[in-house]
Structure 1
């Protein structure tokens, strides 16, 4: 069955440099390489869902610059419906990314056109939401827009996923009731719950707190330690596939897109989590954001290996 996934979120041009390590304050390092790569958490998740088996529509904004054209073209090349990707005056969103020799990254985001994705823009494309099975949001667009999108998707009876990234503070309390699956990483789970996450036990504590706040179910992604699923009655830990990491950029986005595509196609929660984990594991073996995201056939081949 072909799924319908709608992603409401950001499109950024990633300006990526590789360096021996992440620079300290006031320090200048000599880098290894530089590349411009289509990214943005929203667009990354849309590409992941499309490559991993879903029929995808994107709702977002790009600028009137060359980056805006490139970002839309990158989505269209993946057969993603871009009727709801609007061009606005000014610059597109950008992300400045440094990746070190241990494959860890540091990122600075400039919202640009993503700041123009208002609730009114989402309302203009309500028919796109109505055609969805699953709706995904993140936090690289205005909070008012995220809140509106979550609540509208809930009112339409859709499966609602929020990847609360980047998160540095608790979510508005009235968002939680609209969220079926809240998918934070360790630092995001800590920021949202107030519980430091540095072990599987503390991840369970954070997830318990987030469900008490009103989230339907919580999946805490734990990098090389896999992920933790919580549904209010218990927990399940899913170990991560063992791979050699080259670049962790977009690993979380790949997980979210893969999970959504699998869930929308009728797979069980456990199957969807494993599917997203394999896709994310494959993505970290390659450099870049969207270029690193695997296809459905690659994930299936990995499972058979």
Structure 2
């Protein structure tokens, strides 16, 4: 197996998916479809997405000794993910109950289970996996203190997907390159910091406001509208990437920070479950290959566009061959050919 270039540290869940006509109001009972169980969890999703687009990927996390744990191991292995540091612990595998409405949107309730065992102590034991990896990917379905251990201890580039929304310390924000958030997660971080987001229709202003919180770069995802990339000058810009260290002084972002909008392919969404994770996984692989952040986001938006046209999370993620075929078909459809 190749030496991992991307190491994902995070959650692994069994997704319990059911279709509903509408989201229930308080006190309301709705009838849903039969439950379909599929592999998921933000961390495992991102690792699978990265593996499917050709990345050399390892996953660090925890599952239980149960059928759900076996399901996740099989899915990760099938995508070529290195599972050396996927631990089996004395707890049930995490689950996510996902309700999907006819427009393809979803509501999710997560029960962490074994993911609570991704502790700072466990991560110190697995430091040889993530400590020197070129790109490390984090999300927030594991304890926030564990996220901090990896973000501040990794020597490579750290991608922080601040989802689900939670308070992040300044050290984690300073390590993020990029910080990846959607609009609701961005609003949470800015409100928590007492910072103004700018006009609701000015996503560039929101991205700049996020930069002022301290990350080295920002990717603001906008669903069907694509994404916004914001970067400011880095103190380590003229040094080899191996010399980058968390804590280097970085000039504050200002209104002159470079902001680029990357459009998404127009598709008919069937199920948005895992789309953001497919985006992050593909982004990490491109960054590990040396791509600029903008170029990495362009690939990531294409991967996410294909993913939302299929059901499920990991089962919807395309391989590179599938991505190329689907992207060509979508572009031909848009141009009317």
Category of TM-score, reference length = shorter chain:
over 0.9
**Among residues 161, 180, 183, which one is paired with 1:183 in the alignment?**
180
Which of the two has higher C-alpha Rg?
2
Shift of 1:131: 5.1
> Contact 2:131/2:153 (CA < 8 Å) preserved in 1?
no
Q: Distance in 2 between matches of 1:227 and 1:2?
A: 31
**Among residues 158, 164, 170, which one is paired with 1:160 in the alignment?**
158
Q: Distance in 1 between matches of 2:4 and 2:300?
A: 15
TM-aligned CA distance change 1:198 to 1:186, over 3 Å: farther
Query: Which residue of the partner structure matches residue 78 of structure 2?
Result: 77
> In the TM superposition, what are the counterparts of 1:166-205 in structure 2 within 5 Å?
166-167=164-165, 169-194=166-191, 195=196, 199-201=200-202, 203-205=203-205
SS of the equivalent of 1:82 reads coil
TM-aligned CA distance change 1:3 to 1:122, over 3 Å: closer
> In the TM superposition, what are the counterparts of 1:108-187 in structure 2 within 5 Å?
108-130=109-131, 132-153=133-154, 156=155, 158-167=156-165, 169-187=166-184
Query: Which residue of the partner structure matches residue 243 of structure 2?
Result: none
Q: Distance in 2 between matches of 1:36 and 1:196?
A: 38
Runs (4+) off by over 4 Å: 195-200
Q: Distance in 2 between matches of 1:73 and 1:285?
A: 23
Shift of 1:43: 0.2
> In the TM superposition, what are the counterparts of 1:221-300 in structure 2 within 5 Å?
221-232=221-232, 233-300=257-324
> Contact 2:229/2:293 (CA < 8 Å) preserved in 1?
no
Task: Kindly provide the CA deviation profile for residues 218-263 of structure 1, in whole angstroms up to 9, marking residues without a partner as x.
Answer: 0000001110011132211111110000000001001000111112
TM-score in terms of structure 2 length: 0.85
TM-aligned CA distance change 1:185 to 1:113, over 3 Å: same
How many equivalent pairs are there? Answer: 300
Task: Kindly provide the CA deviation profile for residues 28-57 of structure 1, in whole angstroms up to 9, marking residues without a partner as x.
Answer: 212234200000000000000000110110
> Contact 2:14/2:39 (CA < 8 Å) preserved in 1?
yes
Q: Distance in 2 between matches of 1:2 and 1:48?
A: 18
Q: Distance in 1 between matches of 2:23 and 2:140?
A: 24
Shift of 1:126: 1.5
> Contact 1:3/1:261 (CA < 8 Å) preserved in 2?
no
The two structures, once aligned, show a CA RMSD in angstroms of 1.8
> Contact 1:250/1:289 (CA < 8 Å) preserved in 2?
yes
Q: Distance in 2 between matches of 1:147 and 1:117?
A: 12
SS of the equivalent of 2:83 reads strand
Q: Distance in 2 between matches of 1:303 and 1:91?
A: 39
Return 79-88 or 261-270, whichever deviates more.
Answer: 261-270
**Unmatched segments (≥5 aa) in structure 1:** none
> Contact 1:19/1:33 (CA < 8 Å) preserved in 2?
no
SS of the equivalent of 2:276 reads helix
Shift of 1:189: 0.5
